[in-house]
Amino acid sequence: MKLVYTHDNITVVHSAKNILALNNIAAFVKGEHVAPMSARHGIENTYIELWINHDEDYEKASTIIENQLLNPELKESWVCTEWKEENDGSFEVCWKCQTEVVVGDQQKLSQSI
């Protein structure tokens, strides 16, 4: 087992896990039960960890995460109109209230995929 990625937003970690799953890489999330689900901005010292089951997947996994999740050109964050929550560019709905991304942002989003 190997730690491949950490983030303080559980939704980001889960989308990383989903991306790996699509590439047939087995991974699991650690620390999600420790993080308060209602964590506010400013309390960001709880990190959720994404681990891969097989060490030999490590290079492939980190490349995939780098390309699909961490590339700054591919993800522009957007702000939810309901709650003014900032969302990661890889999300199509708000992590907090599930409001869908507004049209202008959606174009950005589809360009990035």
Residues in the site for Zn ion, rule: CB under 5 A? 80, 82-83, 85, 94, 96-97, 99
Instruction: Report the residue number, 85 or 92, with the smaller CB distance to Zn ion.
Output: 85
- What is the Rg, in whole angstroms, of the alpha carbon atoms belonging to the chain? 14
CB of 68 to Zn ion, least distance (A): 23
Task: Compute the distance between CA of residue 100 and CA of residue 62 in angstroms, rounded to an integer.
Answer: 29
Cβ contacts of 58 within 8 Å, gap of 6 or more: 2, 4, 52
Task: Compute the distance between CA of residue 69 and CA of residue 62 in angstroms, rounded to an integer.
Answer: 10
CB of 82 to Zn ion, least distance (A): 4
Instruction: Report the residue number, 20 or 90, with the smaller CB distance to Zn ion.
Output: 90
CB of 88 to Zn ion, least distance (A): 12
